[in-house]
């Protein structure tokens, strides 16, 4: 008998269900006696013992279904060793529920914060496999995360739709794309949609250079400009400050504007006189069905995880490395972010065709 736990933690995205399906199908086709326990609402379910025994029927017809059938929640890693309001030791509670069910392995689907807790549980002696989920594609050690390509499709479509109204009215449009710390999603969607300016957290922008790029287009006969702006984009003058001062300055901005995009729009209007509009697709980027690419990727990741469970290979993340599905030691990945390098080939080639990054 193999007893496997499943949980999905952090923000949801496309292909969580597809990935779990890949794991379960990979196991059920190779193991006769199998029990799958789904912990509800992520680590919260593991902490408080909220789980249910899942059957094959639960995984039927979910390849194309977005979200997660077992729910998710955000449980900050920095609070995991802090007792809850009733004094409960969360780490000890998670371990006890793992042992209570006599699990052979716990399969955890999530992003960076989720992965840090997964690695902590590995250090506590549990058999852990992590599957990398995030629309930000910012998990160190893997080339791709499931959910990323589907989010690119949605963000790209949003920017595509803006082109027609921007050209009709001769306006400057800012489309704010998800990504607080890392700009892979904005970079890919910006290039795919033909954005004229792309602003990323890793490349602090100079508003004067942003305005100059807009002016250049207008003087060249282009009556509109599209900016793809990551929600974590940061002005150069603030990026130069230490972390504490940066936080203060960004708090000042958030007290006056809904997001950095609205401040940027205000700055552009004041400096150029151009009419600027802001569009924020928001959580739409995380919703809906996974696209075909993510369905294939998640199925491969899940099936590979099943093989690792059969071989009893634990303490790993199942990753995409050079277009191959491979094992990566969880200890070598956890706690690290995969940032956009300003010298990344995509950035340099985008610049070579005239896309401005405001630097």
3-state secondary structure of 281: coil
Query: 77 with 123: CB under 8 angstroms?
Result: no
First to last CA, the chain: 58
Sort residue 128 into left (φ over 0), alpha (ψ -120 to 50) or beta: beta
Q: What is the DSSP string of 9-67?
A: -SS--TTHHHHHHHHHHHHHTT-SSEEEEEETTTHHHHHHT-EEEE-GGGGTT-TT--S
Query: 177 with 231: CB under 8 angstroms?
Result: yes
Please name the residue ranges forming H helices in 273-343.
292-310, 330-333
Catalytic residue among 12, 136, 153, 291: 136
Query: 149 with 291: CB under 8 angstroms?
Result: yes
291 among known catalytic residues: no
Q: How far apart are CA 208 and CA 215, in angstroms?
A: 10
Residues with catalytic function: 136
């Amino acid at each position: 008998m193999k007893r496997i736990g499943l949980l999905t933690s952090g923000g949801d995205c496309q292909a969580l269900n597809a990935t779990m399906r890949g794991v379960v199908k990979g196991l059920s086709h190779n193991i006769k006696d199998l029990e799958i326990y789904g912990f509800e609402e992520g680590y919260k379910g593991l902490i408080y013992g909220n789980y249910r025994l899942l059957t094959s029927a639960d995984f039927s017809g979910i390849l194309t279904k977005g979200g997660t059938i077992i729910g998710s929640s955000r449980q900050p890693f920095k609070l995991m060793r802090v007792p809850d309001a009733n004094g409960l030791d969360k780490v000890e509670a998670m371990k006890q529920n793992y042992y209570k069910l006599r699990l052979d392995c716990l399969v955890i689907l999530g992003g960076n914060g989720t992965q840090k807790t997964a690695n902590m549980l590995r250090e506590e002696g549990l058999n852990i496999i992590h599957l990398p989920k995030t629309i930000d594609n910012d998990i160190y050690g893997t080339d791709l995360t499931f959910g990323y390509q589907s989010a690119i499709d949605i963000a790209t479509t949003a920017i595509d739709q803006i082109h027609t109204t921007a050209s009709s009215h001769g306006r400057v449009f800012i489309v704010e794309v998800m990504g607080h710390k890392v700009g892979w999603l904005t970079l890919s969607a910006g290039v795919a949609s033909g954005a004229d300016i792309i602003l990323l957290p890793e490349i602090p922008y100079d508003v004067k250079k942003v305005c100059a790029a807009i002016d250049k287009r207008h003087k060249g006969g282009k009556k509109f400009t599209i900016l793809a702006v990551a929600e974590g984009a940061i002005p150069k003058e603030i990026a130069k400050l230490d972390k504490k001062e940066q936080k203060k300055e960004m708090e000042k901005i958030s007290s006056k504007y809904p997001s950095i995009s609205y401040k940027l729009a205000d700055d552009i209007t004041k400096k150029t006189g151009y009419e600027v509009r802001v569009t924020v697709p928001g959580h739409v980027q995380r919703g809906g069905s996974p696209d075909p690419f993510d369905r294939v990727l998640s199925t491969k990741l899940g099936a590979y995880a099943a093989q690792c469970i059969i071989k009893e290979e634990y303490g790993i993340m199942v990753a995409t490395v050079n277009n191959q599905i491979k094992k990566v030691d969880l200890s070598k990945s956890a706690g690290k972010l995969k940032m956009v390098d300003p010298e990344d080939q995509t950035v340099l080639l985008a610049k070579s065709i005239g896309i401005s990054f405001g630097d």
